[in-house]
Chains A and B, each alone.
Chain A
Amino acid sequence: MNAQDVLFRTLADPTRRALFERLCREGEKTVGALTARAGVSQPVVSKHLGVLKQAGLVRDRHQGRETHYSAQLVALVPLVDWTREMAGFWESRFDDLEDLLKRMDQ
């Protein structure tokens, strides 16, 4: 699996995606703080955070007994690449569209 594959698989789960989005919006959080509003139990939250961490989407930091998690936006780069490729796709389609319009004149 490459980075893109891992990224989309990881974000496919709505609960996991919600955790990631919350870290993006609100910054660093402990597992406890995330659990309080996640609607699932702490072990489930921890499991999702583990998957996010493996995908490089979050980073953990240990402080005393607490583990703090933060979002790693750099992991979203493959998504940006995709967008760029899609834009390139449409640009080249539009080149062909313009060629077609020229031919339609004749």
Chain B
Amino acid sequence: MPYLPVIGLGAVSSAGYGVKKAYAAVADGAGCLTSLSVFDSGLKQVPLCGQVPEKPEIRLGAEVPDATTGFALWAAKEALIDITDLKGLRLGVVLATTVAGMTRSELFFRELRDKPEFVRHAGVFLAHHEPTATTGVVARQVGALGFHTLSTACSTGLHAVGMAKRLIEQGVYDVCLAVGSDALSILTVRGFASLMLIDFDGCKPFDKRRVGISLGEGAGALLLASPEAAAKLGREAVGYVAGWGASADCHHMTAPHPEGRGARMAVEKALAEAALAPSDIGLIAAHGTATPDNDVSEIKAMRAVFEKLPPFCSMKGTLGHTLAASGTLEAVCALRALRDGVIPATAGFEELDEAIGAAPSGRATAELRFVLKTSFGFGGNNAAVVLAKERRL
């Protein structure tokens, strides 16, 4: 199967609005994590998070039902920039989210707890609670024909990319947006804290001293198209999606399989679809959440696939862990790195962990033809996508 063109990119992140800002920050390993201020989380210690510096309604110049929808919308529009006429082509949207309108719903639940009569306001607060409502808004604003809403936490973004690819290949759509978006919420900040998975001082991916994640927020969007659709729209490809692999660990709800069994399967499937050997991969844009478990089992899994471990990086020290957005947002940055032959730095890493036995490579230049992007999520859910610089081998 020929690789599928990506003809547009969009990003909202801790670095600001736009792909340019996100990529520049990631490439340099910039420190974009800041003390959580979008809301009072109620935690005694305030964690460092990847917060988007400006509200989406300001950048969009219009009201949005909630931040997740706002980020998704902005990123989608950036990916579609200069496409004012779809020329009869069928556009789809596959949206990935964990939080959706929860940032608004949780305020409703807070009031409802003490004041049962607050239920009167359900219509207003909960109108956009459902993830499908977020997708509906984006679909309407970009003029999409149809859409799908996925929610598999950390791995969702890459599943959205894979599903968008398949839907185009099956002829359901001619062009399809894969957009992942999640806003910081009390639910997720407190939730990950209660699982003892947060590093309040800023995550240290693959580092010996790592203790947990830094949550982030934002959105990443990739506009995929059939080659015919790309030509009709007069858009050059900025990269290609070559393969998608998905699997489940069958191990534990919040910790990965210690040998990274499922992770390995997902990567091997993606490579197989791309018709590539592991040695073709020039860079792994890793999941690298900086939890004690993830980073070690992730590299273990990669060693089982790669005879020689390629250079790898984690973008989460700069962007934070943006949950469902992470797959798409990091894939967007990976595509830029692929174009420029850049191996991004890994913010937060300083000290090698002997148990991992490998360190992120640090900023470098290299001849890159293929990049592997991985996301390993909650509930042992694994996703891998192979990105290519050129259309075919």
A binds B: no
Residues on B facing A (Cβ under 8 Å):
none
A positions within 8 Å CB-CB of B = none
